[in-house]
Amino acid sequence: MMLKWIPLLPLIGFTINGFWYALIQCRPGAKKAGAGIPGLIATTMIFLSFLISLRVFFYLKGQPEDARLVEEHLFSWMKVGDFNLEMALRIDSLSTLFTLVITGVGTLIHLYSIGYMGHDATPGKFFAYLNLFCFAMLMLVMGSSLPILFLGWEGVGLCSYLLIGYWYQDTEKASAGKKAFIANRVGDFGFILGMFLIYTHFGTLEFGKITELLGKSEFTTLLNPTAVTATCLLLFLGCTGKSAQIPLYVWLPDAMAGPTPVSALIHAATMVTSGIYMLARLNLLFSLSHTAMTVIAVIGALTALLAATIAIAQNDIKKVLAYSTVSQLGYMFLACGVGAYGAGVFHVITHAFFKALMFLGAGSVIHGMHEEQDIMKMGGLKSKMPVTFVTFLVGWIAISGIPPFAGFFSKDEILWNTFAGPHASKFLWAIGLFTAMLTAFYMTRMFYLTFMGTPRFNEAAMGANGHGHHDDHGHDHGHSDDHGHGHGPKGVHESPALMTIPLVVLAVLSIVGGFIGIPHHSWLEHWLEPVIPGHAEGAFSVGETGELVLMIVSVLAAAGAIAYAWKTYTNLKSAEARKKKHAKLHEALENKWYVDEAYEATFIQPIYELSVKLWKGFDVGVIDRIVLGFGRVSQWTGQAARTLQTGSIQVYAIMLLFGLVMTLAYLIKGFM
Amino acid sequence: MDKLNVIDPSFLTLSGDQLALLGPYFWMIGAALLAMIVGVIRFLPSKWTVFAVAMVGILGGLFVSANQIGMDRADLFGGMMVADGFSAFFNVLFLGTAALSLCASLKYLDKEKLQYPEYTILLLFSTIGMMLMASALDLITIFIALEIMSLSVYVLVGFRRNDRRSNEAAMKYFILGAAASAILLYGSALLYGSTGTFVITEILARISAKGDLMTPVFHLGAWMVLAGFLFKIASVPFHMWLPDVYEGAPTPITGFMTTGVKAAAFAAFIRVFVAFGYGKDLTSAVEGRLHDVLWVLAVATMFIGNVIALTQTNLKRMLAYSTIAHTGYLLVGMIAAPHAESGFAPVAMYLAVYTVMNLGAFAVLSVLAGRGDTGLNLHDLSGLGKRHPWLAFSLAIFLFSLAGIPPTAGFASKYYLLYSAIQAKEVWLVVLAVLCSAIAVYYYLRVLVYMYMREPQADTPSAKDFTPAAAAFAVAMMVAMTLQIGILPAKMMAITKRVVAKL
Amino acid sequence: MNEINPGVEPWLVQSFCAIIFFIGLAGVMMRRNILVILMSVEIMLNAVNLSFVAFSRQHADMGGQMAVFFIIVVAAAESAVGLGLLIAMFRTLKTVDTDEIRLLKE
């Protein structure tokens, strides 16, 4: 089978675009190229990957249940002693879903980017990075062993850095990229330690073998429970970095400094879901440690709540979506924490659809509003950008959890498992429900303020000359602005077809995507069974009627929140008044609970000061002296030894004989 | 006279299979003889025809040898020679070395006005001698092969006959080399005297069967033979000739010497080492002492090589001392080999990698050298990064590889070597080797500083404005190999493991 | 062997060869004239030849004597090369005294 082409095609796209960029565009005086060709190359590559992923999926579907596995061994990377690292790919029922999402949503976003980055100065570089990212992400989900997964893990971290800081001339944006990378790195340290522990206890890092070992109860009973918990927690630390949970989520909101398609692809649909993938992949291991599961569930729930509260007070459209992503990721971890890994994966898929949709929609809005991102300065876009409006509406309803849209099914599955599943916790369910209400609330707020009501901006001021306000959305200064609307209609307008078609497709998916996981007829759960064992019968503490009641409760709660938000924001003045009433709280929310500042004060400043002390005092004072001393001794010895080389043949011959005789004497003495 | 051993008629017959196994030799000898003829025909442009003939021969031999790597062991000439994976591997190495050296020397000889066909012919003969050394199983054959190789190289070292330094280098090499060969030969005589046979596998068989054959005379002879090899690989205390000879010889020949000659000497060294039963606990008292002696030699070699290299400003001399240092590391591998799981495989891999990196470095130097090998001091390399960016980059890669920095091949092979040393429980050796490597990094990277962080000097003697095609191709190939083996070392490790398995 | 042809005791011959070998080696180390050094190398090789013959006789194996043939050939070739190098060196350096040939050092 052609497994290796799935990641290889984007890699080829990266190479082509990269070379073209490096060799042609980087020459001084090269003329600015359009986004068409690099975009086309990149999109074609990822689309072909999608087709191959589809073929693999159908092939797996045709196989009997226990044989749903395709493996491809590429080459042996490193063989040192007992440690054997093979470069091999494997797709089973879990990873095929992920590859479909990555390549499918990826194709749509690539297509979108051709329109969005149309006037960027260096499209070749952008599309090269996008393809590289897809390559890394595909390696992550298709790797057959932890090191390959880690390779992809690091790769997406790198690409995230490159793409967030894409407009690196702006220091702020560059810092956002750095922050992302560093936060990821802290998590990775946990991941690596977790990997070491797995290797020590399992003797292997390959998923097939690990799963096999975990299936044998005689093996699992011999495992040291503390070690298992430690491993799970360390691996989870990696997840908190990559998938933006407490405590390492702080990079994701800042990551909105990058271009919107990047936010859509990386921070909605793919990279941030790598943590969930890893949890699902190793679910048997995590299920062994009740402590770790509890920690994961609690952190997931808290993160969901925290991020939702912050989202209420954000005015930047992208920041709202960013915090919403963190919050939804919290849901996914909550699901995994209570043992419902399938529900977590389900939410990954539906979230990919509607969050990518909303990010792309936001991009469309920003594009149409000439770089304006503050929702307080928008309004009434319903008539001006109809397609965006409708698709965004779909996304909004989906994320709020209203049936029969996608978000309802997945969120409900999670809440249901939290309430009544084998590791249930009513307390966490309550948090989850409250967060769902908050989600509906802030989403409605954002939707209303952006699209409904009367415009709060001066349309005439936008257009050919000005670019409204660009707070966070600058470009390379001077030439490249992708909305230089000297052409085209003045004022706010709908985005071109290249950008709206993906929106429509994603909207459709957000509507129907939920049907793969209808409770009690869940195709998805059945499909994932080889990887994620289903629940035993009678595992749920509440019967079917109870389930129906819970469902209705959550829908009503969401609807209630929507109605409340609608009412509030229809009358802006009263909303303002209410804000003033809770000014302190609002300020805290708007400033993200001052988390960043807290980190700065507790971790970053002290470490920095310690570093300076160590540098000046210890490094320069002690170590440098020792090292330089060594150097001086070596030099001196060298000069001394050098003088032996007198250049005279005689001396050389004498040395020869001398050496011979001495060694001989020593040898023969041993024999006597 | 009663029964004397008459010549066994089977020595004189060669079956068809055996002829096929001798393929590389036929290619090379044919090429050499043809080159001699072609070289004197007046109306042919001798430079290109001789080069072409030589390359055809080398490539033919290379192809045949590469096929032979996987084959089983076969004795030729009644046990005097052997064709197995080990010799095939080294044949590939030698032929590659010859080809790359030829490419690098093409324009160099024009520069020096030394474009004589004899150069190529001598190179070919030397390679034939090397190939023979790797396949020889008989002490006399080893000696003959050693002499074929060395005599050609002596002349090549002195090829620049109007240059005093070249003459002096050749003379020094010749005298000391001849003395060392004589010592080796005398050792062979003593070995023959104590065991009654020349064939080294026979020697091993006889001393395994009758332990008391290992008389003091035997050990004296064995050590003298080993000393002869140690001279050729320039281990302390037999290293004194190396810096002078390397400095005086024409640069491509230095490259050829440092790689081909050393690899050949090691190949024969390995075979002989195995044959003397060291590592098989035949006489543990002497073995322990031999181990100690080699230990001291290895450490001394590593240190002296690295430490003196620190003080050198002439690149050729610096690389010469670094060669001595690498010999030290290889000796570490040799000490560890009898007790390590991978045996001599790390040594073979290190030799292969070392060949590529050193040849590359010397090829770059050949291109950069001025008339008479001037212009190879550190300050002459200033600003090379700006003047010749690709050459500087290649040299940088080779230097990184020599220093043992990932992801180059030098790192992979050094790691493999030290890993086998740890397996053999030679912890102190590894520690010292790593220390020496650290010292070495200084003088390797110092070149980089000069290349990239200094401005080009106005008085740099004739740096060429363009790089000759053949040399450029050779250099490019070597850079590629260095990086490829560095990133994916598994294949090379597997090949070397296979070839030493049946030693 | 010794009963049929008493000849010389093996160890005597060997010691003799060893002495000659070391004389040659000493010549290489101590003489200044390169021509003499070359002659000393020849002496060493010939000592080895003698040793081979003696051992061959001792073991009743023709191998040793065959080896001598090869060694003679190689020694001749070596002399030729050596003398060639000597002449080349003399042309440029105008001397065959090792003490004066010290351009390459340190």
Beta bridge partners of A80: A83
**Which residues of chain C lie closer than 8 angstroms to A648, CB-CB?**
98-99, 102, 105
Closest to B176 (Cβ–Cβ): which among A642, A652, A664?
A652
Q: Which residues of A touch C (CB under 8 A)?
A: 642-643, 645-650, 653-654, 657
Which pLDDT score is estimated for B71? 73
pLDDT higher than threshold 50 for residue C66: yes
pTM, rounded to two decimals: 0.67
C-alpha distance from residue A312 to each of A197, A308, A355 (Å): 41, 7, 17
Give the residue from B2, B149, B160, B186 with the most C CB atoms within 10 Å of its CB, the best one to mutate.
B186
Q: Is the peptide bond before A247 cis (omega within 30 degrees of 0)?
A: yes
C-alpha distance from residue A667 to each of B187, B188, B292, B294 (Å): 15, 18, 9, 11
pLDDT in tens, A597-616: 777 777 778 888 888 777 77
Q: What is the ipTM of this complex?
A: 0.92
User: What tokens appear for B344 in the block?
Assistant: 């001599």
C-alpha distance from residue A330 to each of A65, A405, A608 (Å): 31, 20, 31
Class of the CATH domain delimited by C10-95: mainly alpha
Query: Are A660 and B329 in contact, with CB atoms under 8 Å apart?
Result: no
A290 or C76, which is more confident? C76
- Residue A343 CA to residue A168 CA, distance in Å, equals 38
> How far away is chain C from the Cα of B197, in angstroms, using its nearest Cα?
8
Amino acid at A211: T
Which pLDDT score is estimated for C18? 92
User: What tokens appear for C100 in the block?
Assistant: 């004066």
Amino acid at A366: I
Mean pLDDT (chain C, rounded): 86
Beta bridge partners of A69: A92
A638:B309 CB<8 A? yes
The DSSP secondary structure of B176-220, one letter per residue, reads: HHHHHHHHHHHHHHHHHHHHS--BHHHHHHHHHH-GGG--HHHHH
Query: Are B278 and B335 in contact, with CB atoms under 8 Å apart?
Result: no
- Residue A131 CA to residue A123 CA, distance in Å, equals 12
The dihedrals phi and psi of A83, each to the nearest 5 degrees, come to -90, 120
Structural domain for B459, as ranges: 296-503
Chains in touch with A (3+ beta-carbon pairs under 8 Å) read: B, C
Give the residue from C97, C98, C100 with the most A CB atoms within 10 Å of its CB, the best one to mutate.
C98
DSSP H or E segment with residue A655: helix A649-671
State how many domains chain B has: 1
Strand, helix or coil at B222?
Answer: helix
Give the residue from A645, A662, A666 with the most B CB atoms within 10 Å of its CB, the best one to mutate.
A645
B351: in domain? yes
Query: Are A160 and A255 in contact, with CB atoms under 8 Å apart?
Result: yes
B57: in domain? no
Sign, CA dihedral A507-A511-A516-A522, equals: positive
For A382-403, b/e burial (b = at least 16 CB within 10 A) is bebbebbbbbbebbbbbbbbbe
Name the percent of chain A lying above pLDDT 70: 89
Give the residue from C38, C85, C106 with the most A CB atoms within 10 Å of its CB, the best one to mutate.
C106
Strand, helix or coil at A247?
Answer: coil
A670:B286 CB<8 A? yes
Q: Is the peptide bond before B389 cis (omega within 30 degrees of 0)?
A: no
**Which residues of chain C lie closer than 8 angstroms to B175, CB-CB?**
28, 34, 37-38, 41, 82
Which pLDDT score is estimated for A27? 57
> How far away is chain A from the Cα of C66, in angstroms, using its nearest Cα?
28
> How far away is chain C from the Cα of B244, in angstroms, using its nearest Cα?
5
> How far away is chain A from the Cα of C6, in angstroms, using its nearest Cα?
31
B446: in domain? yes
Chains in touch with C (3+ beta-carbon pairs under 8 Å) read: A, B
pLDDT < 70 stretches in chain A: 1, 23-35, 79-82, 458-491, 517, 519-521, 534-543, 573-574, 670-672
Amino acid at B441: V
The dihedrals phi and psi of A340, each to the nearest 5 degrees, come to -95, 65
- Residue B153 CA to residue B149 CA, distance in Å, equals 6
- Confidence class of residue C4 from pLDDT cuts 50, 70 and 90? low
Which pLDDT score is estimated for B278? 63
**Which residues of chain C lie closer than 8 angstroms to A653, CB-CB?**
28-29
Q: Which residue does chain C place closest to A644, by CA atoms? A: C106
Query: Are B140 and B198 in contact, with CB atoms under 8 Å apart?
Result: yes
pLDDT in tens, B4-41: 455 555 556 666 777 778 888 889 999 999 888 888 87
pLDDT higher than threshold 90 for residue C80: yes
C86 touches chain A (CB under 8 A): no
- Residue A611 CA to residue A161 CA, distance in Å, equals 24
B332: in domain? yes
B189: in domain? no
- Tally of CB atoms within 10 A around A380: 16
Query: What residue ranges do the domains of chain C occupy?
Result: 10-95
The dihedrals phi and psi of A79, each to the nearest 5 degrees, come to -135, 105
Which pLDDT score is estimated for C44? 94
For Cα atoms B319, B324, B326, give the angle at the middle one, nearest 5 degrees: 90
Strand, helix or coil at A666?
Answer: helix
For chains A and B, count residue pairs whose Cβ atoms are closer than 8 Å: 105
Which pLDDT score is estimated for A26? 57
B491: in domain? yes
Mean pLDDT by groups of 10 residues along chain B of 503 residues: 52 68 88 87 76 89 84 74 85 91 85 84 94 90 94 93 87 92 93 86 77 76 89 87 89 92 92 73 62 88 88 87 92 85 84 89 84 74 76 86 84 87 86 88 86 69 58 75 72 71 64
Helices B85-112 and B469-487 pack at an angle, to 10 degrees, of 140
Helices B409-423 and B427-453 pack at an angle, to 10 degrees, of 170
**Which residues of chain C lie closer than 8 angstroms to B7, CB-CB?**
62
Closest to A653 (Cβ–Cβ): which among C28, C103, C105?
C28
A658:B237 CB<8 A? yes
DSSP H or E segment with residue B83: strand B81-83
